[in-house]
Every structure is written in C-alpha cells, then in structure tokens.
Structure 1
Amino acid sequence: MHLNVIVPFLLIWIHASHGTSELTCPSQSEVGSTADIMCVAPDATDKHGYSTPTKEVAALCQTKLSTCQPLGDYSAAVINETCSVLTIPSVKLSDAGDWRCTVSPSPMLTCHMVVYKTPSCTIISNEVNQAITVTLTGFFCSGRVQFYVAALCELFNSTVNIITDGIFNCTPVRRVSAETNLMFTCDNVNRNLDCKKVNNTPSTNPPDQTTASSTVTPGNQERIIHNPIGIVLPVIICIIVIILVITFVVVYKKRPDLFRGKTQTDASYAVVEKGDHVPL
C-alpha cells in the first residue's frame, strides 16, 4: 500500500483508538478566499461551539439534531454526531489567529490560521547605477513577512498590522534580468510574484538640437521671462516714436508757418511780366 494512503489511515486510527478530539483549520489562508474549520470529537456529543480569534461566537451546532446556528458572516454544517464544519466564506484580516471549538466534556480545542495577502508589484531597474526600485501595493501577513528579489537582495523583513504599501530600493550584486521575479514569504507561505518590469535607464544619445531649441522646458521658460533686453528695448523704441509724433502734431498746430515756404517781396523792384519790354 502506498505511503500517502497508510499515513492518513494510521492518524485516523490513532484518534479513534485513543478517543482524542481535534480541531483542524488551514495553516494559511489568503484574504478573500474560503476556509473550512473542522471540529471532531471521539464520541457522539450534543453540541459543538465555535469561537473566533477575537473570542466571539461564530456558530453553535447540535450534532444529534444535525443543525447549526451560524452567527455573523459564517456558515456551519453537521457531518455526523462526532464531526461538524465551520466555513468562512471570505477570509478577513481579523480571521488570523487561534480558532476554538468547545466539545463538552473535552477541553477546548484550538488551531492557528495565518492570513496573508499578496501584493501587486513593479520592478524598476536602472542599468547605469545597477540599482532597482520595487513598488509593492497591498500586502499583508499575520505572521512575519519577507520580500526579496530572487537571490539578489532582501527588501523587507518585518511584521505589519494592516494592508500595507511600500517602495523599496536595493543594489543587487548582479544584473536584474527580465526573468527576475519577486519572492513573497509569510511564515510558511511562499509565493513567486510576477511583477511588472520597467527599465528606467536614461538614453546615452545626444539630444536633437532642432527639437531642443523648439521645446520650452520650465527652466528655459523662466530664463526667457527674466531676459530684460528682449522686452525692454522694443518698448523704449515705441515710446520714443510716440513722443516724436505727438511733438510734431503739437508744433504743427501752433506754428504752421514753420512748415510753409515764404515769398520775399521788395518795393524797389518792379515786377516784369512775360512779354513786356523794358526801355533802355
């Protein structure tokens, strides 16, 4: 018989022969997923009572009547007189911790569940200084969380209390390839995250002089505004021209004779008309 079949069979036989109770729950569950918690008693009992890590009642099951009364956002069902199941339809951050099942007269049973949330991520690399920047959006782990870029560098190794964002920088010992992915670890949960890759290496080609001269950047615009020669000189010339025009108009109105030709006459001279003969 295969080993994977023998081991579960032996565990069930040990629990049944020694009359032990057991509460099982997923060792880790992702936020928004479904999780089942199973309470098993060695003998037929009347009730199974479930409570959350915050010590609130989640469900009460009457095994002999095959009925359960779930509370809150949970559902529950009786499998048989010794077994019942509590279902969490959508795991929340508050579901992390120790779950409890009361099976009288046995002691309270407990199981621990780790809750995590994997983030979306972007890896920005710069080949000039061999540095990378990793942006993480929306990560959580009820245990200890760790992020590292393959085997290149560790980005974060700590605990968080809420869904968290972060921007992390590191200088890896070797070049980041297009296949490099981000590793996420939450207690015994390991995930390989496929991040968006962005190459932020600046171009080494010289700028186009035509394009550069026709494009006004904020710095160039400021220098143009503060150039006094290009603006003041045309204004001064316009003012001088206006003053000259006004002066000419005023003088013309007051002394028009200055601008007209004069005829000099003398009485000692006779006016000779054309065709007259002057006697000698």
Structure 2
Amino acid sequence: MHLNVIVPFLLMWIHVLHGTSEMTCPSQSEVGSTADITCIAPNTIDKHGYSTPNKEVAAICQTNRSSCQPLGDYSAAVINNTCSVLTIPSVKLSDAGDWRCTVSPSPMLTCHMVVYKTPSCTIISNEEKPAISVTLTGFFCSGRVQFYVAALCELFSGTVNKITDGIFNCTPVRRVSAETHLMFICDNVNRSLDCKKVNNTPTTNPPDQTTASSTVTSGNQERIIHNPLGFVLPLIICIIVIILVITCFVVYKKRPDLFRGKKQTDASYAVVEKGDHVPL
C-alpha cells in the first residue's frame, strides 16, 4: 500500500482511539513536490473544509457521503467518516504557512508547512587568496535561510520572499578543499549541496614561438596606437627626401650647367676663338 495512504490510516486510528481532532501536514515541502494534508475529527459527522494559507477554500469534503469537492489545482478524498486527505500535486511558494481545516462544531484545526527550494551552486576559489565566491541560482525558504561553506564560513543568513539568485562572498578559516560542500538550512531543513568547483587562479605558461610572435606583434600595434609619431615622422622624412630628389632631377634637365664644374679663366689671357691666327 502506498505510503501516502498508510500514514493517514495510522493517524486516523491513533486519533480515533484517543478521540481527539488534529490536522497534520509535512513540516517542510520542496517546491514542485507532492504534499498530503490530513484532517482527523472523530466528533464531526458531516464535513471537513480545507483552506490555504491565503485563506482561500481548497476543498470541501462530506465525510458522511464519502465525497470531496476540490477547488483549484488540489485533489481530496475521504478516508472514512472521521478522516479526509487534501493533496497538493505540486507545491508552490504560496503554499507555505498555516493550513486550516474547519470541522464544525469542533474548533478549527491548523498545521504549518515550510516551503523551500534548493539552489544549484558554483564555488569559485583562488589559491592565492583566502576569500571565495559562491554563485547560488534559484533558492527559496519560507522561513529563515542560511548558507554555509561546510563549517568554514557563512555566506548568507536572512529571509527571502521569492526564488532568488545571488553571488555571495566569504573568507573561510582554512583553504577550501575539493570535497567541500555547501550547507543549505531552511528552518528544520538541512541539505548538503554538491557545488561545482571552479579555480580562477591565473596560470602562467612559458610562451612558445607562436605566443612570442603574437606578443611582439601586439607590442608593435600598441606602440603604433599609443605613439603615432613613431610611424608618421619617418614617413614625413621619406616624402621630403623624395621631393628633393625629384626637384634636383628637374633642375638638372633644365640647367645642366649648374651641375658642371666651371673653368678658371685669367684676365691677362686673350680669348682665342677657333680658326683665328695668332701673330708671332
């Protein structure tokens, strides 16, 4: 027989023997799980009325007719004329709090349920620094929640009102080992979470030839960007030299005599043209 059926039967017989009324629900339920809430009232002869923590009607069971009328996403069933069960098929955040069972003429019965959601987590450590960083994704607790990196340091302690993500830091009393687990505590819930471990310590590898060439190229680019004169000045000088060479070439073509050596002449000597006879 299924456990969800066995437990209500056992509770029913215990309370029938003692003649007391009681409402029971899981002390804690994880988001998305199934939860059964049982209402036992030996002195009631007709109906059980269930209401949520938001005071909305979840189901009405007529025990004398063995029938239930659930509302919303809930289901319900009558076990016998003193006991009924309300089933939450998928626990939501709004299901946290005090559930009520009206069993007139007996006093209203209540039970309290804590709702929680365990997160996925990543522990980022650095061998050079004692501080660690933990990324938590998707956690919730309707009560007070605490996170510890084993017994090393506390990451977070407080309350949240929705499914929460966050990055939390702490400084452990000793180095974080590969076997270190994150402890999640939500009221009476205590879970050890196996987080992904990441080491962000920088590693220095000896540069090979490819790396060295890349470094040199990167350095040259950096010099060009940050020191433009190192590129522009030689270019200007080169242009000036080219202009001078071209100018000299043009002048040489037009006035070649400027580039020939001049003959020295003496005023005491007469200039003799070709073909003249010089008298002796």
Equivalent residue of 1:59, what SS?
A: strand
Q: Write out aligned runs for 1:128-277 (5 A).
A: 128-203=128-203, 205=204, 207-208=206-207, 210=209, 211-212=211-212, 214-215=214-215, 222-244=222-244, 247=247, 251=251, 255=254, 268-270=273-275
Q: Deviations over 1:114-135 (max 9, x none)?
A: 0000000111121222322111
Q: Which amino acid aligns with 2:150?
A: A
What is the alpha-carbon distance in structure 1 between the residues aligned to residue 133 and residue 21 of structure 2?
50
What is the alpha-carbon distance in structure 2 between the residues aligned to residue 195 and residue 38 of structure 1?
36
Q: CA RMSD of the aligned region, Å?
A: 3.2
Equivalent residue of 1:173, what SS?
A: coil
What is the alpha-carbon distance in structure 1 between the residues aligned to residue 72 and residue 218 of structure 2?
58
Q: 1:249 to 1:219 in 2, by over 3 A?
A: closer
In structure 2, the gaps of 5 or more residues are 1-7, 261-270
Equivalent residue of 1:191, what SS?
A: strand
Q: 1:54 to 1:235 in 2, by over 3 A?
A: same
What is the alpha-carbon distance in structure 2 between the residues aligned to residue 124 and residue 235 of structure 1?
51
What is the alpha-carbon distance in structure 2 between the residues aligned to residue 220 and residue 19 of structure 1?
91
The match for 1:110 is 110
Q: Which amino acid aligns with 2:68?
A: C
Equivalent residue of 1:107, what SS?
A: coil
Q: Which amino acid aligns with 1:179?
A: E
Moved over 4 A (4+): 8-14, 216-223, 248-253, 256-261
Q: Deviations over 1:69-104 (max 9, x none)?
A: 211111112222221111111111111000011111
Q: Which amino acid aligns with 2:104?
A: S
Q: Which is worse superposed, 26-35 or 38-47?
A: 38-47
Identity across matched positions, percent: 81
Q: Deviations over 1:177-202 (max 9, x none)?
A: 11111111100001010000112223
Q: Which is worse superposed, 22-31 or 65-74?
A: 65-74
Q: Which amino acid aligns with 1:175?
A: R
What is the alpha-carbon distance in structure 1 between the residues aligned to residue 220 and residue 162 of structure 2?
46
Q: Which amino acid aligns with 2:207?
A: D
Instruction: Kindly state the Cα deviation for residue 223 of structure 1 after the two structures are TM-superposed.
Output: 4.5
Q: 1:256 to 1:71 in 2, by over 3 A?
A: farther
What is the alpha-carbon distance in structure 2 between the residues aligned to residue 98 and residue 128 of structure 1?
49
In structure 1, the gaps of 5 or more residues are 1-7, 272-280
What is the alpha-carbon distance in structure 2 between the residues aligned to residue 100 and residue 174 of structure 1?
48
Instruction: Kindly state the Cα deviation for residue 241 of structure 1 after the two structures are TM-superposed.
Output: 4.3
State the aligned residue count.
258
The match for 1:5 is none
Q: 1:245 to 1:73 in 2, by over 3 A?
A: farther
Instruction: Kindly state the Cα deviation for residue 35 of structure 1 after the two structures are TM-superposed.
Output: 0.8
What is the alpha-carbon distance in structure 2 between the residues aligned to residue 239 and residue 52 of structure 1?
88
Equivalent residue of 1:240, what SS?
A: helix
Q: Write out aligned runs for 1:3-82 (5 A).
A: 15-82=15-82
Contact 2:133 2:168 in 1 (8 A): yes
Instruction: Kindly state the Cα deviation for residue 237 of structure 1 after the two structures are TM-superposed.
Output: 2.9
Q: Deviations over 1:234-279 (max 9, x none)?
A: 32034314533664676578x3776999xxxx994249xxxxxxxx
